A and B are shown apart, each in its own frame.
Chain A
């Protein structure tokens, strides 16, 4: 009996102090439709938790992350497309909220350059190989 009281007290103590900390994806959040749930998780994994250090809202404990997760699920239930959901979020929080940088003029270099590096590398290898054939 005393043990139960202690457990209740400790859990109330912890929950009260952590009332601003909820734990990641709670069971009542999970959608019944498996396909929709998967969609929601996939989108959430690409949305940054803006009050955390480098986490997605899928992983985060923060209250704002939970709010956004639920918002995304509601929008999926209402029939919004992935694109519309991303636009909804970036309209309010800017591109910062996307973990996958958008394809824009300002991010052209970001997406383009790795490919360019790779091509330069390959070209260099072919140049080197050609020269070796000439010499040997």
Chain B
């Protein structure tokens, strides 16, 4: 009876260690939170835009083409560093790129885009951060890929790197 009893803790011990080993061997960031919006429709929201007199209505805007949504701010250093990739998305991939300007000054944003180049067909103004909350954003920058039916297919938290750029390209091709 006693011999069998010791097998239980040994088995549990081994399973726990195997789980840890698995987690260590895959590529993961322990502080990353998975997006809860994947395979769901884009959040419903209305917003001001940099374009004059334009009120952006999300229920009408995501139904035609694949869209890349990029949350950014002028006060965010990694946003500046990834900006070159956002521009490449707009130019090379021929998808629509929308920027959401998070808790920022409109004046500063216009200057920033003027200096660095503007890949966005539209820039929405999220002054109080509510739109970001609706998208489950917890840090800037974050980038989403939305299908032509308005379903969120992918989310990357953090700046776009070369690796992520390639990954997103692949995903865009798959959605098409």
- A103 in the interface (beta carbon within 8 A): no
- In the complex, which residues of chain A have a beta carbon less than 8 angstroms from the beta carbon of B43? 92
- Of A5-13, A63-71, A77-85, A127-135, the one touching chain B: A63-71
For chain A, the bracket of interface size reads: 10 to 19
- Residue from the list B34, B103, B128, B139 in contact with A94, Cβ < 8 A: B34
- Of B49-57, B108-116, B130-138, B159-167, the one touching chain A: B130-138
Residue of A nearest to B35 (CB): A94
- In the complex, which residues of chain B have a beta carbon less than 8 angstroms from the beta carbon of A96? 33-34
For chain B, the bracket of interface size reads: 10 to 19
| B contact patch SS | loop
Bitwise interface map of B from 95 to 121 toward A, beta carbon under 8 Å scored 1, else 0 = 000000001000000000000000000
- In the complex, which residues of chain B have a beta carbon less than 8 angstroms from the beta carbon of A23? none
Which residues of A pack against B, CB within 8 Å? 20, 50-51, 63-64, 67-68, 71, 90-94, 96
Q: Which 4 A-B pairs have the closest CB atoms?
A: A94-B36, A92-B136, A50-B138, A67-B129
